Amino acid sequence: QQQVRQSSQSLTVWEGETAILNCSYENSAFDYFPWYQQFPGEGPALLIAIRSVSDKKEDGRFTIFFNKREKNLSLHIKDSQPGDSATYFCAASAWRFASALTFGSGTKVIPCLP
């Protein structure tokens, strides 16, 4: 049973448009949700994170929208650029247990010229 699910394996987005990556989770104990960005040949790196007490977190062109009732969240990448070409992993953990991150299967974002 996949505890963190990313619905799309890949996503093609026009440069300049907003890419929307979706994620859902099963475990109600999860209350910390980071997104990690991975370039080919590299390890994942923290991009942005949100705790379940918030419904939105913004950092530059990247925004997380979080819906605790529906157990889902999304990462919006505004003004997509060639440098955003990477795989994005949604992850989750339980803050009070300081548990290890559980990762989704990842979404590969492919910006392309309009």
Partner 1 sequence: DMKVTQMPRYLIKRMGENVLLECGQDMSHETMYWYRQDPGLGLQLIYISYDVDSNSEGDIPKGYRVSRKKREHFSLILDSAKTNQTSVYFCASSSTGGITEVFFGKGTRLTVV
Residues within the interface to partner 1 (CB under 8 A): 4, 6, 9, 32, 34, 41-46, 89, 91, 93, 95, 97-106
Nearer to partner 1, 17 or 103 (CB): 103
- Residue 78 CB, nearest distance to partner 1 (Å)? 23
Nearer to partner 1, 17 or 85 (CB): 85
Nearest to 107 by CA among 1, 2, 5, 3: 5
Give the separation between CA 91 and CA 93, rounded to whole angstroms.
Answer: 7
Task: Please compute Rg for the chain using Cα positions.
Answer: 14
Give the separation between CA 35 and CA 62, rounded to whole angstroms.
Answer: 10
- Residue 79 CB, nearest distance to partner 1 (Å)? 25
- Residue 39 CB, nearest distance to partner 1 (Å)? 10
Place of tokens 């309009």: 114
